[in-house]
Structure 1
């Protein structure tokens, strides 16, 4: 690893003689020192155009600009990885029927009135998993015991996609999320695992959905998102056929497991480094003061969000930040990394960004995205992620286990794989 202690990131980057070396340094720093890197970019080079690589946007205003210009900054880079696995999908389209029709239908089925029950369901799921997963000596491994199986359980109980078993659901969610959103180097093995997972999911659902439709028809009391979807009757002209139902059900798993697990583990990891905030979080958890706990949770996650950036492809020439000293003209074909992590630390919008301040305005947080492609299940995520974390802390798991086990370990992959806590 390059030591940048004696010089700035940009000095080291500029001194690298080859484009690939420059990109290698950037990817290394994004993985290991993202907040430090982005702080320097915001101050010195907020729009970083790399040779033969992505353009990085570090300022809040520029990130928001890119994420609201969907006809220019498109999500096309996701399509080659999504379509072969789950079929044409709204997350890889801009301004199409998939966005208007599919998102409209799915949002109508995930109702605001469900949220209180969703939170209660999550609390019960978490309490059960914690009781089962805690070892006799008072240790709890968060990822394998709570933060992955918890969202999968909710996918079955609320969304109505239970899957054949936990192992298959874990494999499908990991493989699809890894390729679709993290495979920046287009590793063919990662892509192949995604395609295989999509084929397995499709095979399962092609058998499951007709059987579930019969159950739903026979019992009007069955009420989950899939049941609502199967009861939905649309005329042929709408085009929301069995294939669209299949793809959208698959999407419920793709977007809901690894991101939720990452958010919970990374937020708790930040609280472990802030004893006063952990004490406040536990006090709120024990009192079931969700408003206070959630404010602490989302602020903690701001210091290590699930993803450092989202990817967009510019399809026509565009001048970003026009009229400002940093305005930059970008050609069509530019790949853009819009850094939501950096934006949430931009002092021009977020006051005192290096200070832990629960209760910031909701618009300061970009954890669930921004604009047209904000997370489809954002309202469920706003309940599920903090409630799972709350139950862990409420159960008294507020200290790191001794040694390496007590520190967040990604094990060389894109997602948290292990963090052991004790009481």
Structure 2
């Protein structure tokens, strides 16, 4: 029985169970489920949300910020950060002005510097783990590297790495993975946000006394005059926002890529290892692996008014819309031979950093960190998956543990 047949049967008997089934298929069986939708019903309207699965429709949703807005992110993110933020605004002066500030303090020309930092910290973590013959790719590697990047490059170290890590995890759980609006998740995120804001305010005071070569110091030096509305609150909000988009997305991406590349049973695994060890171009292996094993299958938006997609489907006002980026990356109408692993694909078919006016403002950091950490792992002799081990989410939305082998000690 097809997914749609099962869905229709459940919908007739219990609409709530039908929605739960769709949510399960998105999480556990996204490739065959989305493949069926692209073929038979590319826009699926459930009682709770609408799924958009074809590449062209996904791009349209993510491009029309006045129709498909970020309203659903607004309340939780503003509660964490203590005020409006560029990522909670659509086509407003605040969005464009403060996005521009963030792009100025996270410029593309920093990629070589950030890549060098990521490689150095990854090697540190791997060297520490060598005697044990294994490393936790989440806490011992990805989050270790990212906490160092937050401190040395973003200029937002935590009181200690573990505390900043938990602030980030709690905040992003509510912002991007709590669509059911669990009040306990929201309360935990608000507490984390309050602590983060207080900490960032102290850091701003310190950087004013002793500026550094980091993003927070740059932001302080670029602050427009208060007459333009960028006051101390706006500075704190933007400073606190610097680490939030990086840690969870990058950590899960690193882990998903490692698991996918080391778990492949064809020639790709050995080719990726050879490229990592020889110094040949490697990044394409990381981004293509993430197309097969995405860290997040979709981006959600809110439809503000009735809108008919160019493909003909009508989406009604008031509808949460799931732009299924992972499905778009497998759409044969836009991606040549999508079932094949190819490292030479153009960037536009990989929507890892989103698309349109709300694409990832710090993507240059991710472009540097994610593939470099994976490359350093694959350079290690004896690196392999451990039998029976899988990514442990510990009941939450983000990975907690994923041990891998580094060979005999």
CA 22–398 in structure 1, closer or farther in 2 if over 3 Å, else same:
same
Aligned to 1:346: 331
**Whole-angstrom distance in 2 between the partners of 1:417 and 1:109:** 30
Question: What does the per-residue CA deviation read over 1:228-255, in whole Å, with 9 as the maximum and x for residues that have no partner?
Answer: 1122252223222211111111111111
Displacement of 1:396: 3.1
Partner of residue 97 from structure 1, selected from 93, 97, 106: 93
The answer on 1:417 being equivalent to 2:388 is no
1:5-404 paired onto structure 2 within 5 Å = 7-16=1-10, 17-51=13-47, 53-86=48-81, 87-134=83-130, 136-216=131-211, 222-275=212-265, 276-289=267-280, 292-321=281-310, 324=311, 327-396=312-381, 398-403=383-388
| SS of aligned partner of 2:300 | strand
Displacement of 1:268: 1.2
**Whole-angstrom distance in 2 between the partners of 1:233 and 1:248:** 11
**Whole-angstrom distance in 1 between the partners of 2:24 and 2:33:** 10
Contact 1:311–1:336 under 8 Å retained in 2:
yes
Question: What does the per-residue CA deviation read over 1:121-154, in whole Å, with 9 as the maximum and x for residues that have no partner?
Answer: 11111111111234x3411110010111211110
**Whole-angstrom distance in 1 between the partners of 2:382 and 2:167:** 29
Question: What does the per-residue CA deviation read over 1:186-244, in whole Å, with 9 as the maximum and x for residues that have no partner?
Answer: 1111111110010001111222211221012xxxxx31111111222522232222111
Contact 2:263–2:385 under 8 Å retained in 1:
no
**Whole-angstrom distance in 1 between the partners of 2:347 and 2:387:** 36
Aligned to 1:219: none
| SS of aligned partner of 1:148 | helix
**Whole-angstrom distance in 2 between the partners of 1:15 and 1:253:** 44
Contact 1:175–1:197 under 8 Å retained in 2:
yes
**Whole-angstrom distance in 1 between the partners of 2:79 and 2:399:** 26
Contact 2:55–2:334 under 8 Å retained in 1:
yes
Aligned to 1:3: none
Select between 280-289 and 146-155 the one with higher mean Cα deviation.
Answer: 280-289
Gaps of 5+ in 2: none
**Whole-angstrom distance in 1 between the partners of 2:199 and 2:394:** 30
Displacement of 1:260: 0.3
**Whole-angstrom distance in 1 between the partners of 2:102 and 2:289:** 30
**Whole-angstrom distance in 2 between the partners of 1:109 and 1:168:** 24
Contact 2:276–2:379 under 8 Å retained in 1:
yes
Contact 2:174–2:185 under 8 Å retained in 1:
yes
| SS of aligned partner of 2:98 | helix
Contact 1:147–1:265 under 8 Å retained in 2:
yes
Question: What does the per-residue CA deviation read over 1:255-294, in whole Å, with 9 as the maximum and x for residues that have no partner?
Answer: 11010011011111111222422211111111233xx310
Q: How many residues end up aligned between the 2 structures?
A: 402
**Whole-angstrom distance in 2 between the partners of 1:82 and 1:57:** 24
Contact 1:172–1:197 under 8 Å retained in 2:
yes
**Whole-angstrom distance in 2 between the partners of 1:88 and 1:184:** 19
**Whole-angstrom distance in 2 between the partners of 1:145 and 1:165:** 15
Displacement of 1:15: 0.5
Contact 1:140–1:397 under 8 Å retained in 2:
no
Contact 1:295–1:358 under 8 Å retained in 2:
yes
**Whole-angstrom distance in 2 between the partners of 1:63 and 1:396:** 41
Contact 1:397–1:421 under 8 Å retained in 2:
no
